[in-house]
Amino acid sequence: MIPAAFDYIVPDSLETAAASLAEAGDNAKVMAGGHSLLPMMKLRLAQPSVVIDLKRLDALRQIRSEGGALRIGALVTHHQVETSDEVSGNCPLLAMTAASIGDPQVRNRGTIGGSVVHGDPAADWPAALLALGAELTLTSKDGSRSVAAGDFFLGPLTTAIEPAEILTAVSVPVPAAGARSTYRKVKQKASGFAIVGIAVCLRMDGDSCADAGIGVTGLAATPFRATAVEDQLKGKALTADLIASAAAQVTDGVTALDDIHASADFRSHLARLNTARAIDDALNG
């Protein structure tokens, strides 16, 4: 299909982009890589009156270390995250997650900011960002604010970003030396989206787990941090029995999605199984 008519703006600065977005009103859309927005426009699931393309904002294509965190610009592609020495040396979970997204074409064009703002409940990034305790920088003409990843994802295709705001960066605390992490998913064969995706970051103190972050995507309508599982792991030696017992709690209080890709029961089974395997992979991988 052909999208409905719209005005197209390509600003040269973030300030101009924010001002244009504020002026355009609630029916404007910001475009990063376009992998999410353009298909929705072609299907007329989205019919913005104005599209603001950020492609000239090179300042949003940077990855840098800053104050004990990795700051990744919103226009950084999945491929850039996957292949960045800065990322793999400081936070390999991000590189691993990026490598699992879609296919080479998607990874070379799609951006971390576009994916995060789109808020697809089967996207890969939310699991890693939740597990790592990331913060998102949202910018408008009135200034910037930070939102924790745990407060950002509100529901299917729904996030905490306001209509006049632009996601400009993702900041991820660099895990402590010796942290162990992995991302494990069961993917839809056609799209590569996660039927269930589990991101795990462990900080060990000898044989005991000093801290744990576990992010889950694909299982429910909203990505979430599996705090019940984390609490079972903290302060304890991670035996096979403990890992299995803790992983079984990943579905507690969760309404699993039921769709053409997997039933709710099967998705729940996959979540429990892959949570246990991801913890074991992070611990022993």
Q: Is the pLDDT of residue 258 over 90?
A: yes
Q: Is the pLDDT of residue 71 over 90?
A: yes
One domain for residues 189 and 266: yes
pLDDT at residue 113, rounded to an integer: 97
Interval 92-103 mean pLDDT: 97
- Residue that finishes a domain, picked among 173, 194, 218: 173
Q: What is the CATH number for 48? A: 3.30.43.10
One domain for residues 63 and 162: yes
Give the number of other Cβ atoms within 10 Å of residue 178's Cβ.
Answer: 10
One domain for residues 151 and 48: no
Q: What letter represents residue 59's amino acid?
A: A
Q: What is the pLDDT of residues 114-167, one digit of tens each?
A: 999 999 999 999 999 999 999 999 999 999 999 999 999 999 999 999 999 999
pLDDT at residue 94, rounded to an integer: 98
Give the global pTM. Answer: 0.96
One domain for residues 120 and 217: no
Q: What is the pLDDT of residues 227-247, one digit of tens each?
A: 999 999 999 999 999 999 999
Q: What is the pLDDT of residues 262-276, one digit of tens each?
A: 999 999 999 999 999
Residue 2 lies in a domain: no
Write down the residue that tokens 């990855």 correspond to. 63
One domain for residues 89 and 190: no
Interval 276-284 mean pLDDT: 97
One domain for residues 155 and 67: yes
Q: What is the CATH number for 92? A: 3.30.465.10
pLDDT at residue 1, rounded to an integer: 74
The answer to whether residues 281 and 202 touch, using CB atoms and an 8 Å cutoff, is: no
Residue 36 lies in a domain: yes
- Residue that finishes a domain, picked among 173, 203, 229: 173
Q: What letter represents residue 26's amino acid?
A: D
Into how many domains does the chain fold? 3
One domain for residues 27 and 104: no
Beta bridge partners of residue 234, listed in sequence order: 209
pLDDT at residue 203, rounded to an integer: 96
pLDDT at residue 25, rounded to an integer: 86
Residue 26 lies in a domain: yes
Q: What is the pLDDT of residues 28-48, one digit of tens each?
A: 999 999 888 998 999 998 999
The confidence band for 285, taking pLDDT boundaries of 50, 70 and 90, is confident
Q: What letter represents residue 251's amino acid?
A: T
One domain for residues 63 and 110: yes
pLDDT at residue 159, rounded to an integer: 97
Give the number of other Cβ atoms within 10 Å of residue 259's Cβ.
Answer: 10
Phi first, then psi: what are they for 96, rounded to 5°? -65, -40
What does the block give as tokens for 275?
């949570």
One domain for residues 102 and 129: yes
The answer to whether residues 78 and 106 touch, using CB atoms and an 8 Å cutoff, is: yes
Alpha-carbon distances of 197 from 81, 100, 143, rounded to whole Å: 18, 10, 34
DSSP category for residue 5: P
- Residue that finishes a domain, picked among 151, 173, 195: 173
Average pLDDT over the chain, rounded to whole? 96
Alpha-carbon distances of 160 from 19, 117, 145, 147, 153, rounded to whole Å: 20, 9, 11, 8, 7
Q: What letter represents residue 275's amino acid?
A: T
Q: Domain range for residue 41?
A: 7-53
Q: What is the CATH number for 242? A: 3.30.390.50
